[in-house]
Structure formats: C-alpha cells, structure tokens
Amino acid sequence: MTMNVADYARECAAQGLRGDYSVCRADFTVEQSYNYTADEQAVWRTLCDRQTKLTKKLAHRSYLDGVATLGLLDRIPDFGVVSEKLRKLTGWEIVAVPGLIPAPAFFVHLAARRFPVTNWLRTKQELDYIVEPDMFHDFFGHVPVLTQPVFADFMQMYGEKAEHLIALGGDEMISRLYWYTVEYGLIQGAGQPLKAFGAGLMSSFAELQFAVESKDAHHVPFDLETVMRTSYEIDKFQRAYFVLPSFDVLRDAFQNVADMAAIIGRHKGKPALDPAKL
C-alpha cells in the first residue's frame, strides 16, 4: 500500500528527520527554495574542494566529465539550471525532495528520468559523516554520472522494473544491486586503472580512498547474481566492492527481467552471502 504524503510527513517528524515533509506535493517533491545562507555556501565549497582533490585522482572519467559539464563546484547548484543541462545530455532532470522518500515514489521518478535530490545541506559540524543523505551526497555523488547515456538508461530501467521485481519477493536483492553499483560501485576497463563511480564513495572522504587504494579493500568482479545475494554494510566501510568492466555490462545485465525474476526465484528467503567470503 502506498503511503500518502500526510502520513509520511507525520512518520518522518516522529523519527526526527530534518527535512520539511509537510510541504511535499503528492509526488513527494518540494521547491528547492534557493535561499541558502553564506555559511551554507561555505560548507558546500569546503566539501567540494576537499572531495575534488580525491575525485580527480580516484573517480572514473565518466564522473569527472559529468562534474565538468554540469558545473557543480563553485556554489550550491540551482536545480533548474542543472536540469536544463542534463535534459540536453540524457533526458534527465533534478527534482527537489526534503530527504528520503518512499520507495514507490522514488521508482516512479527514476522511471520518468527524474532524480530526487535533497534540498538541504549538512552543517560544518557534519563534514565527515551525516546520518541522512543530504544535498551534497545526492548532488555531488549521484548527479554527475547521470550525464552518461548508458548509466542513465540503467537508472531509468531500474525505476521501471524495481516494483515488479520487489513484488516477486526481491526487495532485498534489488536493494543490494543499487547499493553495490549506484552507491558503492567501482569500474575498471581493460588495461585501465581501478576507479570509483558510486555516489556513496564520491561523497565520502575516507571510504573513497579506502575502496580504491587500500590493500585491505576486497575487490570482486561484478556478477549480477552474486551482487543480488550479498549483504552490505550501512554504517561502516563495505567488506566487498564489486568492479564493473563497463556501464554497458551493468545495463545489459539488468535488461532481461526474466533473468532477474529467475535469480529472485532461486534465492528469495535464503540467507545472504557474506561479502568478506566472496
């Protein structure tokens, strides 16, 4: 059953989430309301300056190309201005939300090539870690790679197919696929160095370095079925990072819904794999 906005707003308020869910539209979007303070602009520049020193070295060229094309670093982005650029590249646009929104609404937005981005920014006391995803995670982490046509197509397909696959009992498995690719994915083409593209890594000062450079990071070749079966960490570094050879492999693996349904049928209800033992 889909939760309505008023019920969701009450639930979020009870949980102490900081976004203002009371002003959500029916699709859980809000106005960006570009009225950020000088302190907030300073936090944005601090985060971008610090993280860019790492991403220039450790991020995949698809991500770096996206940052350069969209122009995200000097000030808090205007969602409308970035959407105009993004629509010309891949048909995607940005919609503002107050924070996490219900999964069905999220999938609807992805299927329509709309990416929800939180409209508030962390404080200077939260530079290293924040419990809720904020604008820096959503925008600096996710949006640049949406400039890449193949990855953009995968994201739309994810939105189109997720609810059907969840209805088959694949809720956890679909979440694992998103987590290990969109959030914590690595990529290494033939003869190329290992690089990162996942949003959770792009927006994390410490884990980006660990995932790409540390000898202790556990790198595993991407396999759709293995990814869907492997548990993940929410509040600590991942115990495994899956490495794609290209975005084409990710898109093509997700394209056949019958294959996805078969994986779910084989493994739903079974214990997840331990990432440290892959």
* Cα distances (Å, whole numbers) of residue 179 to 20, 26, 49, 223, 233: 26, 27, 26, 14, 9
C-beta separation of 274 from 226 below 8 A: no
Torsion angles phi and psi, residue 256, rounded to 5: -95, 100
State the catalytic residues: 137, 142, 183, 203
Which residue, 190, 211, 189, is CA-closest to 199?
A: 211
DSSP per residue, 129-196: --SS--HIIIIIIIGGGGGSHHHHHHHHHHHHHHHHHIIIIIHHHHHHHHIIIIIT-EE--TT---EE
Q: Provide the 10 A C-beta neighbour count for residue 72.
A: 19
Write the CB contacts of 171 (distance below 8 Å, at least 6 apart in sequence).
Answer: none
Task: Rounding to the nearest 10 degrees, give the CA dihedral for residues 261, 92, 249, 54.
Answer: -120
